[in-house]
């Protein structure tokens, strides 16, 4: 989709362009610069860290940002190294640069296009060129709808965490935490530590699913410790997660006032008669994370389905995607957490350095150790993903008038009618009939749910294996533009190299 002027006749500005300044992107940036590459990092936020290491802006004067984080020391060390490299010009960190597309130039160059600045009339555009591209685009939270989930006060679990980490604020004083996945424990712990009452932590899966993989657990004492730390923090606040349970309804008129928590069977179907009402003024809810793949799928990178039902990039041993010249690290290759992202970012930098002319040789022993770490953490991620995969019975907690698509206000009844009466068998066809997924968020919030509803009803008679085959065909969502691009910004010429000019090695 070449919108910009034709490719510049000059050589690429940078050896490596990295999209995303979270754990994977930062780790890759400092490692690549250590190896002599010139690097540009483009990131939408004002400060490095991504979602995981989101932290208060300087004006908030937080003396203990580490109180909101696990593994802050590793991040602080990375930021110091990044600072040294930006000081010498080996790395350029472009903040407030939201990349909306990447364009392939000649076989050796990429043009990365970004919208600059926060939303508003002053947004501009920028573009950089590079020989290699690393996608460290992270993930966003998976949501499954339930009656009342559009009420103010119902927020994403990751959203509550993000607002707390960056703005030092809470959505309420009495916050129920619900959904599925390890993030819930971290969120409940942070909210309670920050002074909120957490009347319940509600997990749809059973933690016993982890016990089926004793060797993977034994190989990951660090991960077990992390879980134990979160668990101990919850116990300190008198919290014990209720497993095999879900918030099946949020109550209130103009904001949430209470939730109903129900027991679930093994397939996540609510068990009739088990509903219990819990008063609260906020609900933080989420069902795991979804890799953010727009830029990668736009370039044609191959994906695969992970055990939790999301799509991730198919990567080789060197973090290479299926498209030559494009690497990926962190959640884009499958949700696995910050430690894994750090290892993968460094490995990707090693691999890119190895094929770049200007690079020093990476430390072979370090590479071996990083590969081992990656294998161990990927195995743990697979166990985790399988344990928290949404059960096929969750749509039973939807009523026909529950809005599934928040943007276009499309109800579960309308989606089901599109499937049963109009023959829609996938999310794309449901979208064409109902507009579900066609709004501002481009299906990021309703996509996983619509996908399930379309397949659940159309494959009602098929067995689980046939369903898995059907899964494999659907492919990830495609969004040609990964963020909104104002026409006013497009009408301005892109700054191909900023005021400081590109660094030269």
Partner 1 sequence: MARNPVELAGATPEPSFEITMDGRVLPALPGQSIAAALWSAGILAWRTTRVNGRPRGAFCGIGSCFDCLATVNGAPNQRACLVPARPGDLVTTQEGHGRADLAV
Residues in contact with partner 1 by the rule CB under 8 A:
44, 46, 51, 56-65, 67-68, 118-121, 140-141, 150, 152-156, 158-164, 166-172, 193-195, 254-255, 282, 406-409, 439-441, 444-445
- Looking at beta carbons only, is 45 or 82 nearer to partner 1? 45
Stated as kind and residue range, the H or E segment containing 17 is strand 14-19
Tell me the backbone φ, ψ of residue 101, rounded to 5 degrees.
-160, 160
Shortest distance (Å) from residue 165 CB to partner 1: 9
- Is the separation of the CB atoms in 348 and 319 below 8 Å? yes
Shortest distance (Å) from residue 231 CB to partner 1: 17
- Looking at beta carbons only, is 310 or 319 nearer to partner 1? 310
Report the alpha-carbon distance of residue 409 to residue 239 in Å, rounded.
Answer: 35
Shortest distance (Å) from residue 31 CB to partner 1: 26
What residue ranges in 344-465 does DSSP mark as E strands?
403-405, 410-411
Burial of 225 (0-12, 13-18, 19+ CB in 10 A): exposed
Q: What count of residues does the chain have? A: 505
3-class state of residue 31 by DSSP:
helix
- Looking at beta carbons only, is 118 or 324 nearer to partner 1? 118
Tell me the backbone φ, ψ of residue 112, rounded to 5 degrees.
-105, 120
- Looking at beta carbons only, is 160 or 370 nearer to partner 1? 160
- Looking at beta carbons only, is 170 or 347 nearer to partner 1? 170
What residue ranges in 105-165 does DSSP mark as E strands?
110-116, 124-135, 139-141, 154-156
- Looking at beta carbons only, is 15 or 281 nearer to partner 1? 281
Q: Classify strands 201-203 and 303-305 as parallel, antiparallel or unpaired.
A: unpaired
- Looking at beta carbons only, is 172 or 182 nearer to partner 1? 172
Report the alpha-carbon distance of residue 143 to residue 290 in Å, rounded.
Answer: 10
Shortest distance (Å) from residue 57 CB to partner 1: 3
- Is the separation of the CB atoms in 79 and 48 below 8 Å? yes
Shortest distance (Å) from residue 439 CB to partner 1: 8
- Looking at beta carbons only, is 120 or 273 nearer to partner 1? 120
- Is the separation of the CB atoms in 53 and 23 below 8 Å? yes
Shortest distance (Å) from residue 62 CB to partner 1: 4
What angle separates helix 72-88 from helix 23-34, to the nearest 10 degrees? 40
Shortest distance (Å) from residue 160 CB to partner 1: 7
- Is the separation of the CB atoms in 121 and 488 below 8 Å? yes
Report the alpha-carbon distance of residue 476 to residue 464 in Å, rounded.
Answer: 20
Compute CA distances 444 → 5, 21, 136, 449, 501, whole Å: 31, 21, 18, 10, 36
Shortest distance (Å) from residue 211 CB to partner 1: 32
Can you read off the two tokens belonging to residue 246? 């879900």
Shortest distance (Å) from residue 214 CB to partner 1: 35
- Is the separation of the CB atoms in 132 and 23 below 8 Å? no
- Looking at beta carbons only, is 223 or 230 nearer to partner 1? 230
Compute CA distances 194 → 160, 236, 238, 242, whole Å: 12, 13, 15, 22
- Is the separation of the CB atoms in 452 and 461 below 8 Å? no
Report the alpha-carbon distance of residue 407 to residue 246 in Å, rounded.
Answer: 24
Burial of 122 (0-12, 13-18, 19+ CB in 10 A): exposed
Shortest distance (Å) from residue 490 CB to partner 1: 16
Q: Classify strands 311-313 and 282-287 as parallel, antiparallel or unpaired.
A: unpaired
Report the alpha-carbon distance of residue 170 to residue 325 in Å, rounded.
Answer: 43
Shortest distance (Å) from residue 82 CB to partner 1: 20
Instruction: Measure the CA dihedral 8/11/13/14, to 10°.
Output: 130
Shortest distance (Å) from residue 484 CB to partner 1: 8
Report the alpha-carbon distance of residue 170 to residue 165 in Å, rounded.
Answer: 10
């Amino acid at each position: 989709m070449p919108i910009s002027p034709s490719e510049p006749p000059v050589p690429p500005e940078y050896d490596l362009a990295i999209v995303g300044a979270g754990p994977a992107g930062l780790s890759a940036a400092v490692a690549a610069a250590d190896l002599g590459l010139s690097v540009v990092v483009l990131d939408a936020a004002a400060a490095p860290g991504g979602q995981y290491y989101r932290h208060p802006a300087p004006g908030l004067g937080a003396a203990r940002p580490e109180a909101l984080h696990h593994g802050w020391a590793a991040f602080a060390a990375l930021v110091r190294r990044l600072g040294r490299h930006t000081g010498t010009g080996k790395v350029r960190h472009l903040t407030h640069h939201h990349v909306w597309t990447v364009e392939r130039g000649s076989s050796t160059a990429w043009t990365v296009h970004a919208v600059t600045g926060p939303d508003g009339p002053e947004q501009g555009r920028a573009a950089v060129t590079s020989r290699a591209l690393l996608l460290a685009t992270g993930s966003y939270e998976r949501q499954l709808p339930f009656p009342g989930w559009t009420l103010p006060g119902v927020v994403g679990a990751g959203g509550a965490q993000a607002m707390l980490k960056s703005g030092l604020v809470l959505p309420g004083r009495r916050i129920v935490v619900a959904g599925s996945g390890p993030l819930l424990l971290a969120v409940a712990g942070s909210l309670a530590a920050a002074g909120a009452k957490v009347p319940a932590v509600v997990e749809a899966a059973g933690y016993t699913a982890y016990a089926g993989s004793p060797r993977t657990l034994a190989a990951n004492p660090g991960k077990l410790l992390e879980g134990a730390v979160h668990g101990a923090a919850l116990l300190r606040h008198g919290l014990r997660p209720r497993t095999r349970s879900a918030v099946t309804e949020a109550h209130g008129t103009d904001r949430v006032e209470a939730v109903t928590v129900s027991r679930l069977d093994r397939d996540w179907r609510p068990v009739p008669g088990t509903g219990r009402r819990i008063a609260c003024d906020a609900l933080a809810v989420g069902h795991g994370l979804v890799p953010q793949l727009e830029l990668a799928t736009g370039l044609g990178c191959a994906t695969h389905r992970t055990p939790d039902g999301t799509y991730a990039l198919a990567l080789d041993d060197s973090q290479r995607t299926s498209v030559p010249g494009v690497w990926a690290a962190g959640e884009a290759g499958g949700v696995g957490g910050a430690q894994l992202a750090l290892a993968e970012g460094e490995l990707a930098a090693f691999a890119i350095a190895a094929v770049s002319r200007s690079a020093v040789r990476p430390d072979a022993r370090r590479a071996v150790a990083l590969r081992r770490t990656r294998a161990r953490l990927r195995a743990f991620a697979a166990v985790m993903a399988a344990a928290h995969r949404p059960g096929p019975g969750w749509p039973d907690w939807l009523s026909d008038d529950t809005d599934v698509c928040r943007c276009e206000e499309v109800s579960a009844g309308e989606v089901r009618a599109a499937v049963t009466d109009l023959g829609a068998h996938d999310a794309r066809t449901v979208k064409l009939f109902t507009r579900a997924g066609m709004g501002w968020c481009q299906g990021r919030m309703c996509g996983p749910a619509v996908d399930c509803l379309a397949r659940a009803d159309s494959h009602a008679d098929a067995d689980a294996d046939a369903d898995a085959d059907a899964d494999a065909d659907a492919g990830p969502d495609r969004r040609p533009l990964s963020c909104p691009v104002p026409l006013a910004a497009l009408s301005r010429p892109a700054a191909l190299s900023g005021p400081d000019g590109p660094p030269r090695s």
